[in-house]
Amino acid sequence: MSSDTSMAWKSDRIGSALRGENPSVLRRMTTGFAVIGDVQFLPGYCVLLVDDPGVQRLSDLSKERRLQFLSDMDQLGEAVERACRRVDPAFRRVNLEILGNTDAFLHAHVWPRYEWEPSDVVGVPVWLYPRERWSDDRFALGPQHDAIRASIGAELDRMRGSGP
């Protein structure tokens, strides 16, 4: 996934998900898509993308869809928690965030947190991690994350009653 063509989906994450062209999609949810994050310095990081690129904030949704989006976020958070706890005994918790300061579409971040995190960032928001963590190729999403991807997807399936 390194050529310009193979990365084109990043400029239209929701549209590419709707077209089945977004390789980061884990599962279709009721109001959007569960995707694995581009960076994995905290293994298991995921994002819930709303399925309508015109929706900029939670309050743009009807009350019913708003509650369903929050339910989807809860399900993704629980799936990440279960998968990460199984994969890494140093798993501590999941942080859920709806920020919307950079990307103009509604999305929710699901950040697993671990005991092994550096002491200067373990108790602060993920956004305060050093900038180099966000761009270091060692943490870029790749085949080394296939196991955690599969585990999170399987947890989503189990919670929705469509898995083993």
Residue 164 placed within a domain: no
pLDDT at 1 (0 to 100):
40
4 versus 20: the higher-pLDDT residue is: 20
CA distance 63 to 45: 27
Q: Is residue 146 predicted with pLDDT exceeding 80?
A: yes
Tokens 């279960």 — which residue?
Answer: 82
| Confidence band of 3 (pLDDT split at 50, 70, 90) | very low
The string of pLDDT tens digits covering residues 49-105 is: 999 999 999 999 999 999 999 999 999 999 999 999 999 999 999 999 998 778 889
CA distance 84 to 78: 10
Exposure string of 47-86, with b = 16+ CB inside 10 Å and e = fewer, is: bbbbbbbebeebeebeeebbebbbebbebbbebbbbbbbe
Residue 133 placed within a domain: yes
Residue 2 placed within a domain: no
Q: How many domains does the chain have?
A: 1
pTM of the model: 0.91
Q: Is residue 118 predicted with pLDDT exceeding 60?
A: yes
Task: Identify the CATH number of the domain in which residue 130 sits.
Answer: 3.30.428.10
Residue numbers of the domain that contains 118: 8-159
Q: Is residue 2 predicted with pLDDT exceeding 50?
A: no
Residue 3 placed within a domain: no
